[in-house]
Structure 1
Amino acid sequence: MHDKYMSKLSPTVDFWAGMYLVIIAVLSVLGNAAVLVSTARRLAFLKAPELLTVNLAVTDIGMALSMYPLSIASAFNHAWIGGDVSCLYYGLMGMIFSITSIMTLAVMGTVRYLVTGSPPKTGIKFQRRTISIVISGIWLYAGLWALFPLLGWGSYGPEPFGLACSIDWTGYGQSVNHSTFIMTLSILCTFLPCLVVFFTYFGIAWKLHRAYQSIQSKDFQCGNVEKKITLMAVLISLGFFIAWTPYVAVSFWSMFHPQEQDHMTPFITLLPCLFAKSSTVYNPFIYFIFQRTLWHELPQIQRLLFCCSHQVSSPAKEAKLEGKRVKDETCVGLMGISGKQSGSEIISLG
């Protein structure tokens, strides 16, 4: 066994890190499996944007099943199991699932921003086939980036604490090859998707705020509903970014301070990695919490958002909307929700 694959942590820390990963793995598998089962039960009524929520659950459960067992076994073994081959596998899986997750979040935000505020009949609509093609493109994009280190651009290597593998961040200043790969990867697969998520979700929150402000009737009393919808979108996005920010920060620090990395204790480098793995647990809990609370308020949301779209309609359309659509369809333009949809479909906002 090479020294680089030996744990730099004490056996006690390795044991508790392994126990932590066991808990994270179990919660991730159970939570995301529940999301997949829930969506499968209403597959016939599943809206196109909800496929992105399903894809996010698939990436989370895929990471838990394909990566965590190897980390857990290595932690209990006090050394990385499998050597170079398993290290490449682990780095490859980590790249695929992490890039797929962040790109899915970026596409989610973009789709929901385009749909929010669109008229029910003439606004932007996304078909299942379109979203399926986009999801396929996301997986291909992530797979391409994951293959680059195997083809010679960049490389995978063990983490400083010795119990995980990822991109070799410390090689940034060692060659142009590593430098160009890491910077390009950081821009195209981290910073730009984060900016997209940030601006689209805040754009959604602003549109919702404007819509609620435009309604003067006190009968709706929907301020609390507005807060819940905005909070749900923010939590789903921030849960991922908060989990991964410490890891990215430490990785970038090691990029620009390779000589000082030896002075950083292995335990400090372990914590961000463990915290990042918790990102696979957040979404299922957010999904079911808001599914339960928003289900009871769905009629109120529908009335409110219908009136928002109703106010910007022409007088002729207003008459038709009042006479027919309110009774038969109760269209809700801002969220793309029809009266026939279940409350859980609101979760696709995230």
Structure 2
Amino acid sequence: MDMYTSTLSPALDIGAGCYLLIVAVLSIIGNLLVIIMAIKKSSRMKPPELLSVNLAVTDLGAAVTMYPLAVASAWSHRWLGGDTTCLYYGLVGFFFGVASIMNLTILAIVRFVVSLNLTSPREKISMKTVKILCMWIWLYALIWAMFPILGWGRYGPEPFGLSCSLAWGQMKTEGFSFVISMFTLNLVTPSFIIFGCYFGITINLFYMDKKSINNSKRIPNIVKLHQRLLVIAVLVSVGFIGCWAPYGMVSMWSIFRDSSTIPPEVRLLPCMFAKSSTVYNPLIYYLFSQHFKREVRKLRWHCLGSNTCRVSNSINENNIYMVSMDMKHNTEVTTKLQSS
């Protein structure tokens, strides 16, 4: 059988294609909303917010460049385009995956630095620094995506025939060092850094809240705001890592064990679950932030004229994190948050 022919049933292929189509549509719409709102308030954007926008760009890029080909292949019962598109799909998927996990890692570090002294009027992280970090994220991801093309690692079709990625089963010998390095530097280490930073933020907020109560200082609102930001950031990180963890475990099984022992239908599920990671970020914003939900509902699309969309001018601080406080009771808080 041709390695680009699906090993799944036609009905399952159609189902997988429909699932990917839904994921693509939701991802494109959700991440476009985040980017549109960011553009509308670009002059007032905070440094950490730029990293959230950068994450939305990676998710949008994956949805636009990958999913249409995957949907068409699923409905055709075979991978379309052969070796050329397989190489393209594997490279693009690996590129956006590494960019996403590193973006989440840098975002966690930046938020931890900001949390060290929330009431300080001095800016902890400058916009210039964050822009350099964003450029580093893209460059780092590109370097890793190019390694298999240069001979360290390999791209190839998935065993079920409807997707392409790193050829795990073919890297048991010549690409083993690549697999270990990739998992260590692009999954295990970033995961520890992410959860370590958010644990540190939690401790900082706890002691800050306790100190404010003991000293009767008027800073509880700052703590509450950053607690809400922390919840959203943690959910975004857990969502991404949780989506990719099953795929990573199945991939490692292919390295250390015989991948033929895993039925194609079972291998399909982690792959589909991983692809859904591009949907969760705007969905989390919508579910856990009344401010983002309110702004989405105010968004008015115009099919005619030069303005394609319009967002209300009431977008306030931290709207990319999609959290806002009651401005009647939080004028002092907003002033103090200008540096964070």
Q: Distance in 2 between matches of 1:236 and 1:298?
A: 26
Match of 1:295 among 324, 329, 333: 324
Distance 1:286 1:65, change over 3 A: same
| Cα contact 1:158–1:165 (8 A) shared by 2 | yes
> Quick one: which amino acid aligns to residue 278 of structure 1?
S
> Quick one: which amino acid aligns to residue 106 of structure 1?
T
Q: Distance in 1 between matches of 2:168 and 2:331?
A: 49
1:109-128 equivalences under 5 Å are 109-118=108-117, 120-121=119-120, 123=122, 125-128=124-127
1:201-350 equivalences under 5 Å are 201-216=198-213, 228-258=228-258, 261-292=259-290, 294-297=323-326, 330-332=335-337, 336-337=339-340
1:163 aligns with 2:162: yes
In structure 1, the residue matched to 2:73 is: 74
Q: Alpha-carbon deviations, 1:152-205, whole Å to 9, x = none?
A: 1110011111111111111232x2x30111111111111111111110111111
1:200 aligns with 2:197: yes
Structure 1 residue 233 displacement after superposition:
2.3
Q: Alpha-carbon deviations, 1:60-108, whole Å to 9, x = none?
A: 0000000001100000000000101000000000111000000000000
Mark the runs of 5 or more structure 1 residues left unpaired by the alignment.
Answer: 307-328, 338-350
Greater mean deviation of Cα atoms: 188-197 or 7-16: 188-197
Structure 1 residue 226 displacement after superposition:
6.8
Q: Distance in 2 between matches of 1:11 and 1:160?
A: 16
In structure 1, the residue matched to 2:86 is: 87
How does the TM-score come out when normalised to structure 2?
A: 0.84
Q: Distance in 2 between matches of 1:102 and 1:220?
A: 33
Name the SS for the 1:215 alignment partner: helix
Structure 1 residue 126 displacement after superposition:
2.2
1:18-57 equivalences under 5 Å are 18-57=17-56
Q: Distance in 1 between matches of 2:329 and 2:244?
A: 36
Structure 1 residue 229 displacement after superposition:
3.7
Structure 1 residue 122 displacement after superposition:
6.1
In structure 2, the residue matched to 1:136 is: 135
Q: Alpha-carbon deviations, 1:205-249, whole Å to 9, x = none?
A: 111111112222599886976764442222111010111111111
Q: Distance in 2 between matches of 1:227 and 1:198?
A: 15
Structure 1 residue 138 displacement after superposition:
1.0
| Cα contact 2:225–2:324 (8 A) shared by 1 | no
1:17 aligns with 2:16: yes
Distance 1:140 1:110, change over 3 A: same
Distance 1:299 1:251, change over 3 A: farther
Larger Rg: 1
How does the TM-score come out when normalised to structure 1?
A: 0.81
Mark the runs of 5 or more structure 2 residues left unpaired by the alignment.
Answer: 292-322
Structure 1 residue 292 displacement after superposition:
2.1
Match of 1:188 among 185, 188, 194: 185
Structure 1 residue 285 displacement after superposition:
1.7
Name the SS for the 1:19 alignment partner: helix
Distance 1:248 1:80, change over 3 A: same
Name the SS for the 1:126 alignment partner: coil
Distance 1:226 1:105, change over 3 A: closer
| Cα contact 1:156–1:167 (8 A) shared by 2 | yes
Identical amino acids, percent of aligned pairs? 43
1:140-159 equivalences under 5 Å are 140-159=139-158
Name the SS for the 1:331 alignment partner: helix
Greater mean deviation of Cα atoms: 292-301 or 84-93: 292-301
Q: Distance in 1 between matches of 2:272 and 2:181?
A: 25
Q: Distance in 2 between matches of 1:238 and 1:299?
A: 33
Q: Distance in 2 between matches of 1:218 and 1:146?
A: 50
Name the SS for the 1:295 alignment partner: coil
Q: Distance in 2 between matches of 1:300 and 1:116?
A: 22
Name the SS for the 2:175 alignment partner: helix
Distance 1:299 1:161, change over 3 A: farther
